Chain A
Amino acid sequence: MNIVNIMLSGVGGQGILTSGRVLALAALDKGLDVKMSEVHGMSQRGGNVDSHIRIGESVPSSLIPKGGADYLISFELMEGLRYLDYLKPEGRAIISKLKITPLSSNLKKGASYPENIEEMILQKAPKAKLIEAEKIAKELGDIRMVNIILLGAMSKDFTLLEKSNFENAIKQRFSPKVAPLCLKAFERGIENG
């Protein structure tokens, strides 16, 4: 069974579920099977959240084992680092260069946000792509576009799905008012992927 595994991670409220949904819709658009797993509830109050997405001809189960992800898309640097061990050796990481300091690091002396986090990620996953997704989203005039930009970056060498599948998914998921900007954000993502 050939299944492609994509792990999404970030902080509650960053739009991770929306990204996952667009990706899953794109898979459906291509006529593939897809399963996605996510955790709602307690984790949304500023805690870390993740979403597992698995795409293939037929996908029986929904959780990605550690070491089994072909892709990791992270919305925040520390959440990228936290989930890095989900990647396969040849897996690809796409990580937004955003830092959100967790409350706990304010409280423990000397436990501030790791300063060299970008180097650490690149040292552990040399092919990881760190992207200024927030900056690009601001240029586009809507900070919420981060999730689509990251998807675009990931789609670049994602041979399982065509670009048109993503575009159709975006048009399905977003209202006609927002969709054009999303499509633009997707392009910018590809350019930066």
Chain B
Amino acid sequence: MKKLMLGNEAVARGAWEGGVSFGSGYPGTPSTEILEYLVKYDDVTVQWAPNEKVGYEVSVGVSLAGRRALVTMKHVGLNVAADPFFSSSYMGVNGGLVCVSADDPGMHSSQDEQDNRLLAKAAKVLMVEPSDVEECRWMTKEAFSLSEEFDSPVLLRMTTRVCHQTGVVHPEEKIVLPEKKFVKDIPKYVLLPSNARERRHKVEERLKNAMKFGNESDKWNPIFRKGNKIGVITSGVAFGYVYELMSDEASIMKIGLTNPLPLERMKRFAESVEKLYVVEELEPYIEEALKAMGIKVFGSELRPYTGELNLTIVEKMLKGKESTKVTIDLSDAKINQRPPTLCPGCSHRGMFTIFRDMGLKVMGDIGCYTLGAINPLKSMDSCMCMGASVGMAEGLDKFGGEGVSGKTVGVIGDSTFFHSGITGLIDMVVNKSKATLVILDNRLTAMTGGQPHPGTGMDMKGNESPRIDLVELCKAVGVKRVRVIDPYNLEEIKEVLEEDLKAEEVSVIIAKAPCVLGFKVKLGNVVEVNVDLCTRCGKCIRVGCMAIGEKDGYPVIDENLCNGCGVCVQVCEPSALAFKKQN
């Protein structure tokens, strides 16, 4: 039976069909939905980890137990999990271990565009790359077998347009696996240098064997023959563009098992055509392998080095022309940007309004609150990677000098703090930082769609689970000044910040209020405008709320959107804004 599925859903389906026992990971677009679909299968244990490294390590433990495990993350998540990822390559597996890296060419929702095919190569693990939704299903399923056969973790490398593509799949039944047990094997699993040196040879052997397999596999690395004039080697989402444009006039080789690359097969294919192209997104990964064999190939010089491919770009690469042309000219249409914004009622808004008004130096982090960096709040001075706000605030505060030292705060979301902020805070304590860390405690991982985290007190299925208390946690690592504030009370925010910034010790402020979107919170009555009192100063408009429009300089409240948080009411000096009385 044919079914319509999202790529991420098909990965979950494939994992289930392949007999997976366990799924873990940390949310991150475009990978998040994989575990959210996998948790729907009752016979699989699925759980969010506090970060990717932990998720990876639990999965390795499951693999040692003889069971199959799936761990998912976005591309930058693999940086966090890189330590166990690289070393687990030396250990190999017991039960199959598949790690999903969801890359984001074009940076739709990421801070960088790294191509994690290079990480699979560096870690010397097997890598597979689906090009559409049906391949998401069967490649995930088969990846577990590859993992066990070649004794390697397998990187399932996806990209946004594969993860978030909906297409037709042909679901199959779940396979029955023979039972496996944990086997004590010190030389394999204890990576003492002496053991690791031995394992290093196994890794090399594995790659050799897997390359031989790839060289012979029509299933993983199929060739679509059409003449010998033009040949194209491609992989992942790029295959679709190539096939659509060239299947009538070129021979096409699709590589599904992309580490190790099937060098022999590629070479034979190259020799069978007069002119060879490589079409791949981001880094010239396949191209460089061909060039290293001395093969003449056209590829990266014909396309942008950044961003996604599409039919137009690939047609220009391969045919030197564009058959689809833009005929409607929009250059004279003044179309405003529509950037994402903090929701009406969001508990982050008041905080950033005060940071801005106090002129603080704000070392920010990643989450919904990163929107505090854009117009009109513009009160975040850095955002690098998850957890970085803490260490960066410490560093900037120590060496910033006048106007910076003593005026620096780190700002981090609660999920991000559990992910990788705690170690930074420990550094602040033991190295005597005097900076202030603000933890925005909205009880959810909001940015990626409201997943529970260790502070939520709920698991993926909505069952109660132990809740880590942020106050206790900060105190336990040695912070003496820990205060909880109401992020809707602007005066309180300002007061506490002023005191803590003056303090000669590290301080933590926990701004505590549940995510209005995730918990469906209605805060209060809608706000109304008294035009007679309004001086058109624009302060309310500069809190950046979708519910506040503007006409002739006066604010106009959209009652359907207003959540009644009162931030605009508090910034209004002439008291022209007030909550509507209940009628």
B 526-583 contacts with A by CB, 8 A: 541-542, 544-546, 548-550
Chain A hits for B336, CB < 8 A: 78, 102, 104-105, 108, 111, 113
A39 touches B338 (CB 8 A): no
B240 touches A47 (CB 8 A): no
Q: For the complex, would chain B's binding face be called helix, strand, loop or mixed by DSSP majority?
A: loop
CB of B465 closer than 8 Å to a CB of A: no
CB of A6 closer than 8 Å to a CB of B: no
B4 touches A46 (CB 8 A): no
A41-B30, A78-B336 known; A1+B244 contact, CB < 8 A: yes
A42-B340, A81-B330 known; A68+B164 contact, CB < 8 A: no
A35-B166, A63-B311 known; A68+B549 contact, CB < 8 A: no
A34 touches B312 (CB 8 A): no
Binds B, one of A21-29, A147-155, A158-166, A182-190: A21-29
Partner of A120, one of B166, B324, B333, B341: B333
Distance from A79 Cβ to chain B, minimum over Cβ atoms (Å): 8
CA distance A112 to B4 in the complex (A): 41
A81 touches B333 (CB 8 A): yes
A103 touches B165 (CB 8 A): no
Chain B hits for A59, CB < 8 A: 167
CB of A168 closer than 8 Å to a CB of B: no
B341 touches A103 (CB 8 A): yes
A61 touches B241 (CB 8 A): yes
CB of A192 closer than 8 Å to a CB of B: no
A35-B132, A65-B312, A81-B330 known; A11+B244 contact, CB < 8 A: no
B340 touches A44 (CB 8 A): yes
Chain A hits for B329, CB < 8 A: 85, 124
CB of B431 closer than 8 Å to a CB of A: no
B544 touches A61 (CB 8 A): no
Mask of B44-56 contacts with A, CB within 8 angstroms, 1/0: 0000000000000
A42 touches B29 (CB 8 A): yes
Distance from B386 Cβ to chain A, minimum over Cβ atoms (Å): 15
Chain B hits for A81, CB < 8 A: 330, 333, 335
CA distance A165 to B209 in the complex (A): 49
Partner of B167, one of A34, A84, A102, A124: A34
CB of A180 closer than 8 Å to a CB of B: no
Chain A hits for B343, CB < 8 A: 45-46
Chain B hits for A11, CB < 8 A: 338
The chain B residue with its CB closest to the CB of A28 is B4
Partner of A85, one of B30, B328, B449, B545: B328
CA distance A38 to B32 in the complex (A): 14
A42-B340, A102-B338, A103-B544 known; A67+B30 contact, CB < 8 A: no
A35 touches B167 (CB 8 A): yes
CB of A82 closer than 8 Å to a CB of B: yes
Q: For the complex, would chain A's binding face be called helix, strand, loop or mixed by DSSP majority?
A: mixed
A41-B30, A84-B330, A88-B327 known; A103+B164 contact, CB < 8 A: no
Binds A, one of B190-198, B368-376, B506-514: B368-376
Distance from A147 Cβ to chain B, minimum over Cβ atoms (Å): 16
Chain A hits for B68, CB < 8 A: none
The chain A residue with its CB closest to the CB of B517 is A45
The chain B residue with its CB closest to the CB of A106 is B550
B166 touches A66 (CB 8 A): no
A 28-61 contacts with B by CB, 8 A: 28, 33-48, 59-61
The chain A residue with its CB closest to the CB of B238 is A61
A28-B168, A61-B241 known; A124+B541 contact, CB < 8 A: no
Mask of A79-105 contacts with B, CB within 8 angstroms, 1/0: 101101101110000000000011111
A63-B311, A68-B311 known; A45+B340 contact, CB < 8 A: yes
B 337-352 contacts with A by CB, 8 A: 337-343
Partner of A36, one of B2, B166, B368, B448: B166
Chain B hits for A44, CB < 8 A: 340
CA distance A20 to B164 in the complex (A): 13
B 147-164 contacts with A by CB, 8 A: 160-161, 164
Distance from B366 Cβ to chain A, minimum over Cβ atoms (Å): 11
A46-B546, A65-B311, A81-B335 known; A34+B168 contact, CB < 8 A: yes
B109 touches A104 (CB 8 A): no
CB of B176 closer than 8 Å to a CB of A: no
CA distance A108 to B541 in the complex (A): 11
A106-B541, A107-B541 known; A43+B108 contact, CB < 8 A: yes
Partner of B164, one of A25, A39, A61, A105: A39
Distance from A70 Cβ to chain B, minimum over Cβ atoms (Å): 12
The chain B residue with its CB closest to the CB of A82 is B335
CB of B471 closer than 8 Å to a CB of A: no
Distance from B513 Cβ to chain A, minimum over Cβ atoms (Å): 18
A43-B109, A66-B324, A85-B330 known; A106+B549 contact, CB < 8 A: yes
Chain B hits for A12, CB < 8 A: 340
CA distance A113 to B551 in the complex (A): 11
CA distance A114 to B334 in the complex (A): 7
CB of A179 closer than 8 Å to a CB of B: no
Distance from B10 Cβ to chain A, minimum over Cβ atoms (Å): 13
The chain B residue with its CB closest to the CB of A112 is B550
The chain A residue with its CB closest to the CB of B325 is A67
The chain B residue with its CB closest to the CB of A39 is B108
B448 touches A24 (CB 8 A): no
A62 touches B165 (CB 8 A): yes
The chain B residue with its CB closest to the CB of A17 is B166
Task: Tell which of B109, B542, B548 has the most Cβ of chain A within 10 Å.
Answer: B109
Chain B hits for A39, CB < 8 A: 108-109, 160, 164
CB of B189 closer than 8 Å to a CB of A: no
A62 touches B161 (CB 8 A): yes
CB of A125 closer than 8 Å to a CB of B: yes
A25 touches B4 (CB 8 A): yes
Chain B hits for A89, CB < 8 A: 327
CB of B447 closer than 8 Å to a CB of A: yes
The chain B residue with its CB closest to the CB of A45 is B340
Task: Tell which of A34, A43, A65 has the most Cβ of chain B within 10 Å.
Answer: A65
Chain A hits for B334, CB < 8 A: 111, 114
CB of B243 closer than 8 Å to a CB of A: yes
Q: A12-B340, A82-B335, A85-B328 known; 5 other A-B pairs, CB under 8 Å? A: A28-B2, A33-B168, A37-B165, A65-B312, A124-B329
**Could you tell me which A residues sit within 8 Å of B by CB distance?**
1, 11-12, 20-21, 24-25, 28, 33-48, 59-63, 65-68, 78-79, 81-82, 84-85, 87-89, 101-108, 111-114, 120, 124-125
A-B contact pairs, 5 of them (CB 8 A): A40-B164, A45-B340, A65-B312, A66-B326, A67-B324
